[in-house]
Chain A
Amino acid sequence: MEEFRQPIILGFVALYMGICIWVGIWAMRRTKSAGDFFVAGRGLGPMVVSLAVFSSTLSGFGFVGGPGLVYATGLSSIWMAVCSALGFATGYYLIAKRIRMIAEVRNAMSLPDIVFARYGSEAARLLTAGTILLGVLGYLATQILAMGLVLQSILQGTEMFAEISLVASVVISSTVLIFYCVTGGIVASVYTDLVQGIVMIVAGALVVITAAYVFEGGFAEATGILLANDGEDIMPFGTLGAMASLSWYFLFGLGLAGQPHVATKMMMNRNLADNKIILPMTVFGYVIAAMLWISVGVIMRALVLGDVGLPLGNADQAAPAFLSTYAHPVLAGIVFAGLFAAIMSTADGFLNIGAAAIIHDIPKALRGRSLDNELFWARMATIILSVVAATIALYSGQLVALLGAFGWGTFAAALVPVVLIGLNWKQASARAAIAAITLSLAINFAIQLWSIEIPYGISGGFLAMLSSMIIFIAVSLAEKPKPLPKDIDRIMEL
């Protein structure tokens, strides 16, 4: 079977992409309005929403960057994963119900719509939409680049495509992504997320089992090797230390609910009561899939430090190297499909909220109404956004890394106070929202632009988020409380 490894992997990836295209065609018939395109007409069942929420949270980073970070720095980055139980709890305790209620009462289609409904400020809506657009461009570019690199590495392993270029790989993989996002909008996005979530759970579970058998003594033997060589790497804070790890816990644990591609999906469930089972299903799916992150990273680090395996040229090769050396070809095929699933499930969410920002939110903030024929322009915006992001990914050099790093921290720092606190505290004011978003963008940009190194490995995104939360509450407390619109006031009582 080993001689068919590459064809098997390619077969699984092709099958997965075929399913995505089929879902796109199927979803096209269900997409008749902008409401269908952006929020699936608020008619999704609990299974679809929970898998969509978890799969769009765990991007390609969880399957490639995560294991790479564990390989390079030990367990420091695992704090980004163990905070998931807190992250999803904050999402469901603090925003899921109210965001869904406001969406129905105000016919909201996006997070900036929710921000406008809550604060009654076009400036807050515009800033939220602008933040989303900035973050989306960066995040999307890194996802498209990752997709192209993975496809290129798979195709280069075959005789027929040995010389395939990165540009061609980006074009092929982006075409599939664009096809189902343009035809089926968010309906295609969430139903492919359903497939993607299942693939990721299966991949995560199977990889853990495989990783446990790489060493005869299982994970205990790998741990023994790491303890003998360094020790800090396999202890809770990894090589980066306690403050780096804990600042990530803060940023990712409390910042998850501020991710617009995640929060937007909380508007889409058919019944409010479904949240009761959506939360545990989301947490369960995430934790199984994230096990790949931990197990592959630890095993690859132990193999290299224990002189069993050769050092990797690049930390991000940890997962592909593990799969090509230790995984059964069928498992490797499933996991590579899972890898595409992880990347695409995040990218399609970004495309959707980015398109909403361009054709719905920004025009509404600037001229009081969105574009005519929204559905047509939503499809056009999806194509344009993909092409711009792919161009940034391929030709911008350092800009893609800059924008990618900017992504999560930008969303968390700018939107957590405005959405998470603002939907649970009536005194929160529009001025505070504007100040918090502006300050968080300034801090994030300054840290990235001037490559400011923060002592003890503390995350820049954490500093931005902490500052924006403080300024948000301080400004709101300093202002005289203003009455809320009647419907929003009643929703905030529930």
Chain B
Amino acid sequence: MKLIHSVKPIHLVFALLLVIAGITIFVLTSDIPPGASGVPHPTIDGLSVGGDGAEKLSVIGKAPYYFQIAVILLAGTLLYMGVPERRRDRLLRICFGIGIAFALFVWVMLFTGYETYLATGQTRVVFGFPVPTNWMFWGIWGSFAAFDVFYMVAFRRYFLHPDDEAAFHALVRETEAEAAQMKNREAN
């Protein structure tokens, strides 16, 4: 229990970076299937096609899936570090938990939807685009846009508390006074 309490966000960031590095090394050292990053279009210059998507993932499997889970957790932890330590409370942790869970949900829907397409070759088109693509456009963007909205809504509670703003202005006044004193001393 003591160990858990001594873990700080930076330790989690470091661990997640190592996980991401581990997955990346696994991908970099795996065999490369043909057309892993697309193949040139047979007749049109400058255009590439994706080819067989299932074949691309045949060697690395779910590595991209776990990679992005780690990236979402990393992003959430970094954003959490942006809130001053003494302002972090239970409500903040709940809000961040919900935000990160939503981002993970979106990612799961996107990736499983894509896997279904690879398995069946079928997809529904909604708002003009395939469903997994919509999860990318609106979901991936929207899940972190929720953090932008949270910043606006909870600004005075977590990001610039009136007491912190006052403390900053006090620091500015002190610094200016010190600078003025030093100038006087130099003049004398």
- Residue positions of A touching B, CB distance < 8 A: 71-75, 78-79, 82-86, 88-90, 92-94, 97, 101, 104-105, 212, 218-220, 222-224, 227, 229-244, 246, 249-250, 253-254, 272-273, 275-277, 279-280, 283, 287, 294, 301, 304-305, 311-315, 420-421, 424-425, 427, 454-458, 463, 466-467, 469-470, 473-474, 477, 487, 490-491, 493-494
Contacts and interface: CB of A to CB of B under 8 A. Distances in A.
Given A254-B75, A456-B36, A93 B159 contact: yes
Given A93-B159, A280-B152, A311 B57 contact: no
Contact of B140 (A82, A244, A311, A313): A82
Contact of A249 (B71, B149, B171): B71
A92 B152 CA distance: 10
B38 A240 contact: yes
Given A279-B152, A280-B148, A236 B132 contact: yes
Contacts of A88: 148
Interface in B59-109: 60, 63-64, 67-68, 71, 74-75, 78-79, 81-86
Nearest to B158: A93
Contacts of A287: 141
B155 to A, nearest CB: 4
Which 5 residue pairs are nearest across A and B when measured between Cβ atoms? Answer: A232-B50, A219-B128, A93-B82, A457-B37, A239-B38
A108 B47 CA distance: 47
Interface string B107-151: 000100010010001010101111011011100111111011101
B64 A275 contact: no
Given A223-B128, A235-B117, A86 B75 contact: yes
Q: What does DSSP make chain A's interface, helix, strand, loop or mixed?
A: helix
A90 B75 contact: yes
A224 B125 CA distance: 8
Contact residues on B (Cβ < 8 Å of other chain), bracket: 35 or more
A240 B167 CA distance: 50
A243 B147 CA distance: 25
Contacts, number: 256
Contact of B44 (A83, A234, A311, A314): A311
B180 interface: no
Nearest to A75: B133
A287 B15 CA distance: 32
A73 B17 CA distance: 29
Interface of B: 10, 13-14, 17-18, 20-21, 24, 27-28, 30, 32, 36-39, 44-51, 53, 56-57, 60, 63-64, 67-68, 71, 74-75, 78-79, 81-86, 110, 114, 117, 121, 123, 125, 127-130, 132-133, 135-137, 140-145, 147-149, 151-152, 155-156, 159-160, 164-165, 167-168, 171-172, 175
Contacts of B67: 243, 246
B47 A469 contact: no
Contacts of A279: 148, 151-152
Contacts of A275: 155, 159-160
Contact of A458 (B28, B117, B128, B145): B28
Contact of B168 (A243, A244, A272): A272
Contacts of B48: 72-74, 239-240
A243 B125 contact: no
A367 to B, nearest CB: 21
B21 A105 contact: no
Contact of A94 (B74, B79, B143, B155): B79
Contacts of A494: 84, 164, 167-168
B37 A93 contact: no
A493 B123 CA distance: 50
B13 A421 contact: yes
A235 B130 contact: yes
A230 B41 CA distance: 10
Contacts of B165: 272-273
Contact of B47 (A71, A231, A456, A470): A71
A427 B81 CA distance: 13
Indicate the member of A242, A249, A304 with the most B CB atoms within 10 Å: A242
Contacts of B149: 280
B133 A84 contact: no
Given A89-B144, A89-B147, A279-B151, A236 B47 contact: no
Nearest to B142: A85
